[in-house]
Amino acid sequence: MSAAQATLNATLPIDYWLHLADNALVLGQRNAEWSGHGPILEEDIALSNNSLDLVGQARLLYQEAAAQMGNGATEDTLAFFRDVPDFKNYTLLELPHHAPLAGTSASERDFATTLVRNFLYSALMVLVWDKLQHAPHEQLAAIAAKSLKEVRYHLRHSRDWLLRMGDGTAESHGRAQAAVNHLMPYTQEFWTSTSYETEAAKTTGLDMTSLQNDWNQIVDQALAEATLKRPAAGGFVPTGKHSVHSEHLGFMLAEMQSLPRAHPNATW
């Protein structure tokens, strides 16, 4: 690596690495909650594989953040020993697998909610990773190229299910529409800006707002094919990537981090 390239590679803010990594880790953890609970065996395995892809992406991104941070930071310390205010993931990704539950609900997992969320996020990340694979930053470009291959499958898988549910039975259509209505407002956070994204854009050339039209096209085309309606934009804009989260992230992290925190010096 040349001296100029080494200097360039050091210019990405640590918070930008953490934002990308936290997104992948949190959604990976959520999708892993379907392991052993999928509606059919094939989808149980599919969501587990999706989770493994996302956790793998998170590991690579955390490694880059840890290398910049030093002081003993590792991918594990960044995943397991940070608290809620330290995470910078989109609020969309930390939500449980359901909209508000009825008192008679038999399960806390709604397959439509999970697949609609995967679709909305994957539709964004195919655009993000496609742009970042051309970034003049060696490590980020390599991670993006690998991640793009994975997220293309995630998008195809979730889109196929969106169409099946939306253009299926009255029951599946109703569940898919309820999931879209519940989750779509959270996607407004995609297009808000943070200081670390603005700083990173000087190196990567990625302005998130430049992706909005393409994302809208992907989403609107799929919703039309699925005979689903897009709710009107508006309401509260979530602030997860500003480290202000919903009440759900703390519960998720408590479960995810319990073992390494109970045995912080354990080796496997």
pLDDT score recorded for residue 63: 97
The pTM (predicted TM-score) of the whole model is 0.92
pLDDT score recorded for residue 39: 81
Would you state the structure tokens that stand for residue 160, as one six-digit string?
A: 């196929």
Would you state the structure tokens that stand for residue 77, as one six-digit string?
A: 């310390």
- Partners of 239 in the β-ladder: 244
Contact between residue 52 and residue 107 where contact means Cβ atoms under 8 Å apart: no
pLDDT score recorded for residue 253: 96
pLDDT tens string 32-84:
998 888 788 788 888 999 999 999 999 999 999 999 999 999 999 999 999 99
Q: Give the number of residues written for the chain.
A: 268
Q: Pick from 16, 14, 23: which is nearest to 73 by CA?
A: 14
- The total of other beta-carbon atoms located within 10 Å of residue 216's CB is 13
pLDDT score recorded for residue 155: 98
Assigned domain for 1 exists: no
Q: What is the DSSP string of 151-162?
A: HHHHHHHHHHHH
Assigned domain for 179 exists: yes
Output the domain CATH number for residue 202: 1.20.1260.10
Give phi and psi for 17, each to the nearest 5.
-60, -45
Assigned domain for 102 exists: no
pLDDT score recorded for residue 107: 64
pLDDT score recorded for residue 10: 53
Expressed as residue numbers, the domain containing 85 is 12-97+109-229+238-262
Assigned domain for 2 exists: no
pLDDT score recorded for residue 7: 44
pLDDT score recorded for residue 6: 47
Assigned domain for 113 exists: yes
pLDDT by position in tens, the chain (length 268)? 444 444 455 579 999 999 999 999 999 999 999 888 878 878 888 899 999 999 999 999 999 999 999 999 999 999 999 999 999 999 999 999 887 654 455 567 899 999 999 999 999 999 999 999 999 999 999 999 999 999 999 999 999 999 999 999 999 999 999 999 999 999 999 999 999 999 999 999 999 999 999 999 999 999 999 999 999 988 889 999 999 999 999 999 999 999 989 988 877 6
Assigned domain for 176 exists: yes
State how far the alpha carbon of 92 is from the alpha carbons of 23, 26, 57, 137, 228, in Å. 9, 10, 18, 28, 20
CA angle 183, 189, 62 (to 5 degrees): 105
User: How far is residue 36's CA from residue 147's CA, in Å, rounded to a whole number?
Assistant: 25
- Name the domain count of the chain: 1
Would you state the structure tokens that stand for residue 252, as one six-digit string?
A: 């998720």
CA angle 142, 215, 12 (to 5 degrees): 35
Would you state the structure tokens that stand for residue 251, as one six-digit string?
A: 């519960």
User: How far is residue 188's CA from residue 236's CA, in Å, rounded to a whole number?
Assistant: 9
